[in-house]
Structure 1
Amino acid sequence: MTSVNDAVISLSCGAVRGLWRGEPGDPGSSAAFLGIPFAEPPVGERRFAPPSPVPPWDGVRDATAYGATAQRGDTGITLIPEPSVEGESTLNVNVFTPRPGDADAALPVLVYIHGGGFTSGSPASPWYDGRAFNRDGVVTVTVSYRLGFDGFGEIPGVPSNRGVRDWLAALEWVQQHIRDFGGDPSRVTIAGQSAGGGAVLTLLAMPAAQHLFHAAWALSPALGDIPAPLARERSERLADLAGVAATLEGFRSVSEERLLALQRDAAKVASRDPLAPLTGILRDGLPWGPVIDGELLPRATIESLRAGVGAEKALVVGATDDEFTMITDGIRVPLRLIPAALLLRRIGVDPEVVGPYLAANGSQRRKGGAAVIGRFISDSIFRSTVVRAADARGGADTWVYAFSWPSPTRRWSLHCLDVPFWFDGLDLDGVSAIAGDDPPRSLADAVHGSAVALVRDRDPGWPTWASAPGTARVFGGPSSAPDVVRDAYASVAALV
């Protein structure tokens, strides 16, 4: 039985029923098709296997509710609301479109990859709804992928980088089916934030992915780039914790839920030193993520970009000013009397870097030791990656930005704060917690408008990094400052 709000279209794999938001044909209306599988459920014999195509189905598949997520259970309070959805069919896509079934519409396409450190996150977040992009003539797709060990752990004789292979399979699905949703498969832009931004750079630098998209936007990219020996060492440690052999049979004998719990235990830092967790991040990087396996990822991402992989594609890349300074706010008191130089040395910063770094961050230094450490973590993980990626691409079309508007509730221009502005979703649940009750509409217009300009026109609207080295667009800076500056990332010079 159908209703007036149903949107039914036929794909080569079968028919799907979505849901109209608004009256079909009215300005601003769009349809959502949720939880469409792009691969078979990765369970049983398919667990730890590459994604396998879904056989065609008969009848009409319901696509009016989000599909199962690889993220399991209640993750607690997070900056972005990302719910977990139970079920086995975790490899699915959500498609938001203003022109369902119109194969001649040929609208540009945005494919968004969620973040979460490659161990959490959910494509079912209301913040990732493509409604605003649909309003601006862009078909939007959000994708799921396997997380943590299931997605990225090393197992002898088993294909590596299964989470990466999930991204590729989802993008292949888009190439095959997006025309039926009104999209143009030759005009696909990939985007993501945090680990999702790292995924974007990974795909941009991956030879096997080049035919799947033509432009990219990486928000606060956090790269995995885990060396294969380290990935194997971590997998063997996890097997020891589980009490099984580090083999396919051994890992398959442990439930996904049990492995997730063990991964969390393995990541805990047993130390009374308040800086220990931060030191661990700087020393060890992310626990799970894309592995430099010599096959799918033949070398580190920045090296591949420097070698020219992805050079014909447009890239926008940037970060917030203080991604992780919110974390060090909680230890302001114990750090208040310790000199900033000593704090940096305590977390393992090269003494030759300490002086130049502090000299370039004088205003942050005046805010106290916790602010310096937070900025250094932000620069090391995110902001220096922005500069390294832009520099590595040489003369390729690369645009850099900085998101500088400080949260009225969390003090800093913190991690995830830019996401609701980028999606133009300031009225969504949870946004006020980090953006306040009256976030600036003009800032959303600027950020979202630039994203639409890249997707539609391959140019976000300011000078490229190559044409004016060091140039970046500043979103949300002081009203007296210019929007485009030459030194937005000068503070990371000592790190790159």
Structure 2
Amino acid sequence: MALSASGRPLTGPEVRTANGALRGTVESGVAVFRGIPYAAPPVGSRRFAAPQPAARWDGVRPATAYGPPPPQTDVLTEGATDDGAADDDWLTVNVWSPEPDPAARRPVMVWIYGGGYVVGASSRPEYDGGRLAHDGGVVVVTFNYRLGAEGFAHIEGAPANRGLLDQVAALEWVRDSITAFGGDPDRVTVFGESAGAGCVAALLAMPRAAGLFRRAVVQSMPGTYFSPPLATDIAAACAGELGLRPTVDDLAAVDPALFVLAGDTVAGSVADLPDRVARWGRPALRSIVFAPVVDGDVLPTTPWQALAAGTSRDVDLLAGHTRDEHRLFGLMSGLLGQVTPEQAQAALQDFAPAPDGDRRYRAAYPDAGPDALYELVHSDWLFRMPTLRLAEDHVAGGGRAHLYELTWTAPGMGGMLGACHGLDVPLVLGNLTSGQPALLIGDGPPAGAIELSARMRAAWTAFAAAGEPGWPAYEPAGRSTQVFDTLSVVTTYPEERSRVIWQDESFLALPLQGATPAPARSVLPGNP
């Protein structure tokens, strides 16, 4: 009989992986295993290094508590708990399985959380995979990866994109271990929202990730990928807050919490420093200081360029966004409903495609006031057009893509947020009353939310199982798009006016601009 550390008999489902045996729990008819190491703790000599193999263990390891979240801003990690796990064991996975039997061979869905590449943890209640696993008959996997400076700062002597390398290691763990949990390693789907979607798109372009998943879901992908000069300049600013250089030699002994604070200081001050706005451009205006770096090695090129060239053409893609992506950020900044004509004009000048994007927006949306124009251009630059273009480039490169838009108005807060950024997360995962989603969904939840969530979960799991979410694939001629709302329909892409404005824009790695005159000031705090 297997015994716990206290000598009590262990109960619950047991599986055996290459590293050792695990004992989980059963919750609502689903076997759950939490806090499983997929890589060694990235501390000490492994600080700022690529992920290393996790240690093996003897006996049966309890897998009942989440691993701790990676270092990040404390104020934004409410709901992420370590449940007593070792403080530095950040790189862990969690598994929900309807049938932890190697013969089951069920589709596998691997969730990558968002949070602007600076916050997030798989232990957040809205990321619980139980409902999706139970109702969809799939094995759900979530995991932690390094964030902020630990995962994405461009540091001399360290591999670039360590957060992405963590994700590759987690997918390698899925490939090698998921059969024991009843999953099929040949039917793996990666899916993520916001920065998580940006990571999924990056994985599609990464040679190291090739063959590790069969399908990909990109939900509200941010268009921010940094060039090495830009990333190096930002890393130097972060290290400079500590009086150090952006090198492994200087930073290896720095407390991760101090490095987090340095990044927060830079992010919070860029809007007030004209030189940094002039050098960093749009990321500074949005207070974005960390993102995947197109370094030529880990990430050889941008996702759009890679997919247009046929990279990952064998991977099925499901991509989409919400209608009112930016409204949540407007609420957070206090500008929702308060945008002045001057602020709207500055936003159009800063973020619309050159040379005359402001004129084209006003011509395409003649009835839009300052608030609507401000929201439209931010939504399009940050999420809507990057996501649409990824689907279009995948099709152009010989791949297959399905497109959607969520237009259902969130009932929380009197409906003022519309179909805002992040609304798709509770609907897809089915967690309508846990954590932050409760703010969007409201009390109840209402019957409309329950029904829409069921439809979206059915589409996502059908796509994971066979590559068919239930509506036609996207083609340049018809632009078939599934619109999710109280009454869902398939129609031509709804945001055609914005698509035309952006159709000739090249989505490239964001450059270091040098000491150029500062653009018009349309600063809005907040990250994707």
TM-score w.r.t. length of structure 1: 0.90
Letter in 2 for 1:374: E
Q: Deviations over 1:66-109 (max 9, x none)?
A: 10111446324x8xx65253710000100111112x11110110
Highest RCO, 1 vs 2 (Cα 8 Å, sep ≥ 6): 2
1:455 equivalent to 2:452? Answer no
Counterpart of 2:391 in structure 1 is 390
**1:485 counterpart SS class:** strand
Query: Structure 1's 303 and 211: CA in aligned 2 closer, same or farther, altered over 3 A?
Result: same
Select the residue among 442, 445, 449 that pairs with 2:454: 445
CA distance in 1, matches of 2:285, 2:11: 52
Written as runs of structure 1 = structure 2, the 5 A alignment for 1:339-418 is: 340-341=344-345, 344-345=348-349, 350=354, 352-362=356-366, 365=368, 368-393=369-394, 394=396, 395-408=398-411, 409=413, 410-418=416-424
Letter in 2 for 1:397: R
**2:24 counterpart SS class:** strand
Question: Contact conserved, 1:74 with 1:84, CA < 8 A, in 2?
Answer: no
Letter in 1 for 2:457: H
Greater CA drift, 237-246 or 400-409: 237-246
Query: Structure 1's 328 and 11: CA in aligned 2 closer, same or farther, altered over 3 A?
Result: closer
**2:169 counterpart SS class:** helix
Greater CA drift, 56-65 or 431-440: 431-440
CA distance in 2, matches of 1:149, 1:240: 13
Q: Deviations over 1:283-302 (max 9, x none)?
A: 67831121111112111111
Question: Contact conserved, 1:282 with 1:380, CA < 8 A, in 2?
Answer: no
Question: Contact conserved, 2:348 with 2:357, CA < 8 A, in 1?
Answer: no
Letter in 2 for 1:293: D
- What's the offset of the Cα at 1:343? 5.3
Query: Structure 1's 20 and 280: CA in aligned 2 closer, same or farther, altered over 3 A?
Result: same
Counterpart of 1:291 in structure 2 is 293
- What's the offset of the Cα at 1:344? 2.1
CA distance in 2, matches of 1:348, 1:457: 38
Counterpart of 1:26 in structure 2 is none
Query: Structure 1's 346 and 317: CA in aligned 2 closer, same or farther, altered over 3 A?
Result: closer
Counterpart of 2:131 in structure 1 is 132
TM-score w.r.t. length of structure 2: 0.85
CA distance in 2, matches of 1:300, 1:72: 26
CA distance in 2, matches of 1:341, 1:357: 10
**RMSD after superposition:** 2.5
CA distance in 2, matches of 1:413, 1:384: 16
Written as runs of structure 1 = structure 2, the 5 A alignment for 1:243-282 is: 243-269=243-269, 280-281=282-283
**2:241 counterpart SS class:** helix
Question: Contact conserved, 2:119 with 2:147, CA < 8 A, in 1?
Answer: yes
- What's the offset of the Cα at 1:39? 0.5
Query: Structure 1's 333 and 411: CA in aligned 2 closer, same or farther, altered over 3 A?
Result: closer
- What's the offset of the Cα at 1:470? 2.2
- What's the offset of the Cα at 1:486? 0.7
Counterpart of 2:317 in structure 1 is 315
Letter in 2 for 1:306: A
Query: Structure 1's 158 and 351: CA in aligned 2 closer, same or farther, altered over 3 A?
Result: closer
**1:75 counterpart SS class:** helix
Greater CA drift, 12-21 or 328-337: 328-337
Counterpart of 1:239 in structure 2 is 239
CA distance in 1, matches of 2:325, 2:352: 20
Letter in 2 for 1:431: P
Question: Contact conserved, 2:109 with 2:190, CA < 8 A, in 1?
Answer: yes
Counterpart of 1:118 in structure 2 is 117
Counterpart of 2:167 in structure 1 is 167
Letter in 2 for 1:320: T
Query: Which consecutive residues of structure 2, in runs of 5 or more, have no partner in the other structure?
Result: 504-528
Query: Structure 1's 467 and 370: CA in aligned 2 closer, same or farther, altered over 3 A?
Result: closer
Percent identical among aligned pairs is 34
Question: Contact conserved, 2:205 with 2:306, CA < 8 A, in 1?
Answer: yes
CA distance in 1, matches of 2:89, 2:31: 22
1:83 equivalent to 2:80? Answer yes
- What's the offset of the Cα at 1:347? 6.2
CA distance in 2, matches of 1:201, 1:349: 22
Query: Structure 1's 349 and 309: CA in aligned 2 closer, same or farther, altered over 3 A?
Result: closer
